[in-house]
Amino acid sequence: MTQPPTPPATTPKETAAQPCKQLDSGTPVLSLSTLEETNCTQPQQQTTSSNATAPATLDASDNARWHETVTGTQVGAHWKRDVALFYVGQAFSQFGSSVVAYAIIWWIALDSASSWKYGLAVIAQQVAMALMSIVGGAWADRYDRKLLMISSDAIIAVFTLLLSVALLTGHMDYWLIVVILVLRGLGGGVQSPASAAAGQQIVPKAYLLRINSINSALQSAVWLVAPAVAAVLISYVPLGMILWVDSTTAVIGIGLLLKVVIPRLPATAPHPDQPNGLLGYLHDTKLGLDELKRHPALLRASLIFAVLMVLLIAPSNLTPVFVVRFFGDESWKLAAAEVTWSFGTMFGALLMARWNGPKQRMPLLIGVAALWSVLMVALGFSPNIYVFAVLWLIFGLTFPTAQIMVMTSAQERIAPEKMGRVMGLFNVVLSLVMPAGMLVWGPLSDAISMRLVWAGCGLAALVFAGVMALQRGSDMQLTAFTETV
């Protein structure tokens, strides 16, 4: 990666003479590399608008209304409108995809009553998404991210419509549905890294954590509403017609995305010495990992989050089984577990948006890890569904804290031209958590008590959090961006 030229040293007097670049809200452009405010002075506030500081002169190119930050990320005068359109559009698309995903998986479970068919369908889609994220992350750094998102959404919608036609014409074949789920997973592996990387380009760095928190709350709202909508539809509407929901919301999402200006990164081609084919994409993944290694504190935080996902979130994906096994198979008990988690994550994200987090993020991350560990042990020995629901709500309230801090820290530090690869790596971990839960913790929970599995995972995570708390050094200093609003 080509590094920008080092600016010449300036005397204090020269520094004081440099005006700050301005975002539309009056927030000064801040330095990413030093995590400190760029040396500049704010113009004194004027009492009349005629004396206000004029905006920077922009050229007449396609990106004319965008101001360049010190990292090369572009944010413009209308960034709030663009951010709203972008994330609302993504929420619409996610809502349709979630409704259809729930409907398909539940249809398989109700139609076949086969645990292996149900598990295979879920694992096939998630593994396809994880593997495609390796390719999708490289594409997000190499090609137009907006075009990638639109194309992946459109292709998923087309394949979903084809499945709809097949189902409505009497071709209710399990393997056809699995193939479509795999294709949907492949599309998600392209869309997710591009979407996460594009967010870095359209949000001013001082607002990243707040916008990520609001977006997380939107996603939680989708997780809350989508299962309920899918449950109603699958009771009264043929599966083939339910699939139209995804195509409809994809059209809405694409329409809103078309209105968003996402600056194009300079086109890059693979290095002449880079291997071709799959080995080439594995090399891209290594480049993403190398970029993470350039930021030791971010790498440490990412590893902590990954370990927590494997030890705590993966086994918790078996929550419906846990509830049925120990509290009964009443539908309201299953709903209570789903609703408390979704409400918790939604309000936890909104609280994070309000608070904006601490300046030093690592202590909070480790503290959250310890709290999750204790909660996991307590969940394992919950005496009834009411205690379980309260503990699950607290878990949900604190879950966005770690996720948002790691994501925001990556966006603040990772070079825009490497962001897709890094987000691809993150997506691989997130996509494999559910299959890991089914393949590892599922059989173990059948061999021994699930209560012991959950308690053991919680104790292992607590030991891990304690070891991390004892670590010292620069890689434990995950400093937040200096200016937040």
The answer regarding whether domain 74-267+282-476 maps to CATH 1.20.1250.20 reads yes
pTM value is: 0.76
Express each pLDDT in 102-148 by its tens digit: 888 878 877 766 667 777 888 888 899 998 998 898 898 888 899 99
Residue 255, pLDDT above cutoff 90: yes
Contact (CB, 8 A) for 325 and 442: no
Residue, of 147 and 28, whose pLDDT is higher: 147
Per-residue pLDDT, 103: 86
Domain boundaries, the chain: 74-267+282-476
- Average pLDDT of 16-39? 38
Over pLDDT 70: what percentage of the chain? 80
Neighbours of 3 (CB within 10 A): 7
Which of 2-6, 172-176, 341-345 ranks highest by mean pLDDT? 341-345
pLDDT score of 467 more than 70: yes
Cα separations (Å) of 60 from 64, 82, 145?
5, 19, 22
Report the distance separating Cα 8 and Cα 25, nearest Å: 29
pLDDT tens-digit series, residues 31-61:
333 333 333 434 333 333 333 333 333 343 4
Tokens of 318: 């078996």
pLDDT at 267: 59
pLDDT at 10 over 80: no
What is the Cα–Cα distance from 241 to 235, expressed in whole angstroms? 12
pLDDT digits (tens, 9 = 90+) for 208-231: 889 999 999 999 899 888 888 888
- Does residue 75 or residue 480 have the better pLDDT? 480
222 vs 232: CA distance, rounded Å:
15
- Residue 39: what pLDDT? 37
Least confident of 49-58, 79-88, 272-281: 49-58
Q: What is the rounded average pLDDT for all residues in the chain?
A: 79
User: Which pLDDT belongs to residue 368?
Assistant: 94
- Beta bridge partners, 479, equal 360
Q: What pLDDT, on a 0 to 100 scale, did the predictor assign at position 413?
A: 85
- Residues 6 or more apart whose CB falls under 8 angstroms from that of 34 comprise none
What CA–CA distance (Å, rounded) separates 21 from 449?
60
Residue 399, amino acid: F
Most confidently modeled range among 166-170, 294-298, 380-384, 437-441 = 380-384
Whether residue 157 is predicted with pLDDT greater than 70 in this model: the reply is: yes
pLDDT digits (tens, 9 = 90+) for 362-390: 999 999 999 999 999 999 999 999 999 99
Position 11 pLDDT exceeds 90:
no
For residue 287, what pLDDT is reported? Answer: 82
Sorting pLDDT into bands at 50, 70 and 90, what band is 89? very high
Residue with the larger pLDDT of the pair 283 and 364: 364
